[in-house]
Amino acid sequence: MLSFTLNGLRFKNPLILASGILDESGETMLKVIEHGAGGVVTKSIGRKPREGYENPVIYELPYGLLNAIGLANPGIENYGEEIKVAKKGGVPVIGSVFGSTVEGFVYLAKKMEEYGADAVELNLSCPHAKGYGMEVGTDIALVEEIVEGVKKEISIPVWAKITPNTENLVKIAKAVEGADALVLINTVKAMAIDIEAGMPVLSNKFGGLSGPCIKPIGVRAVYEVYREVEKPIIGVGGITYGRDAIEYLMAGATALQVGTAVYLRGIEVFSLIAKEMEEWMEKHGYAHFTELIGLAQVR
């Protein structure tokens, strides 16, 4: 009911761990896999080790999370062992990378391939690190070059994760159509102020909003891009229950990623959502989840 193949990779279910959540170390990714994830995306890895921002880097809200971890990561040269360990879980391991130039992305992607990653996800969309992610991700010519550059140099599938923090979502999606799949959305640029302290909570001031409150933004993004782009879309943003997963599928997603729900429902969230999807499909007479893809599109 839930197994499928995407870009030649076999997934037991479409619920993939989103980048940046419990995926810095290989052993933690193994735990997530044990709890039912169909695949895992690593934390976004860069050229050099990065400590990230000072605490507070996370803020809990009644409707989601605000974070500015600041792309903390051990650096690509230290990451081979983590991939090797995560691969023991027997599901696809997708290496997420971030950079600021075509050469930078190519270098990182090649390393991920060498380490045994099953695919590479290009983080073109982190909203709170200067000179990376979103700043890169809204430069239409640059994202196109990055995707083309990486595609030429590696043979494993390339996923492009794009930012929702732009009016040019569809243009950017089209610019990265050379990728094997598009991942949307990353977090939504946001801020929270503690009124007792009279200052922004995050040490970086700005952060990225995730969780249930961004689901309508993600669903809209997937719906819009599905109409314009031929490549498969991986939907992410606020997927917490089976019904959220179904909603993204109906908007046009082929696969899904889950992040903040790990905090909301615990690490067992992957098997919980899978079960809820199956129950819903049984009740509504669907034999396989792929029947739902794009169902809500009004043509």
Q: Are the beta carbons of 186 and 126 closer than 8 angstroms? A: yes
Task: Give whichever of 30 and 202 is closer to ligand FMN, judged by the CB atom.
Answer: 202
Token pair, residue 100, equals: 């600021």
Q: How far is the CB of 200 from other proteins (least distance, A)?
A: 10
Q: According to CB under 6 A, which residues from 130 to 189 bind ligand FMN?
A: 161, 186-187
Of the residues 88, 103, 171, 194, which one makes contact with other proteins according to CB under 8 A: 194
Q: According to CB under 6 A, which residues from 42 to 61 bind ligand FMN?
A: 43-44
22 contact, one of other proteins, ligand FMN, none, CB 5-8 Å limit per kind: other proteins
Task: Give whichever of 126 and 272 is closer to ligand FMN, judged by the CB atom.
Answer: 126
Q: Does 19 participate in binding other proteins (rule CB under 8 A)? A: no
Q: How far is the CB of 56 from other proteins (least distance, A)?
A: 4
How many residues line the site for ligand FMN (CB under 6 A)?
Answer: 27
Q: Does 23 participate in binding other proteins (rule CB under 8 A)? A: yes
Catalytic entry in 9, 97, 117, 126: 126
Stretch that binds ligand FMN, among 149-157, 168-176, 193-201, 259-267 (CB under 6 A): 259-267
Of the residues 30, 41, 236, 292, which one makes contact with other proteins according to CB under 8 A: 30
Stretch that binds ligand FMN, among 145-153, 232-240, 277-285, 286-294 (CB under 6 A): 232-240
Q: Does 199 participate in binding other proteins (rule CB under 8 A)? A: yes
**DSSP secondary structure string, the chain?**
---EEETTEEESSSEEEPTTSS-SSHHHHHHHHHTT-SEEEPPPB-SS-B--PPSP-EEEETTEEEE---S-B--GGG-HHHHHHHHTTSS-EEEEE--SSHHHHHHHHHHHHHHT-SEEEEE---TTSTTSTHHHHT-HHHHHHHHHHHHHH-SS-EEEE--SSSTTHHHHHHHTTTSSEEEE--PEEE--EETTTTEESSTTS-EEEESGGGHHHHHHHHHHHHTT--S-EEEESS--SHHHHHHHHHHT-SEEEE-THHHHH-TTHHHHHHHHHHHHHHHHT-SSGGGGTTTT---
Residues labelled catalytic: 126
Residues in touch with other proteins (CB under 8 A): 20-25, 27-28, 30-31, 43, 49-52, 54-62, 65, 67, 69, 72-75, 78, 81, 194, 196-197, 199, 201, 259-260, 262-263, 266-267
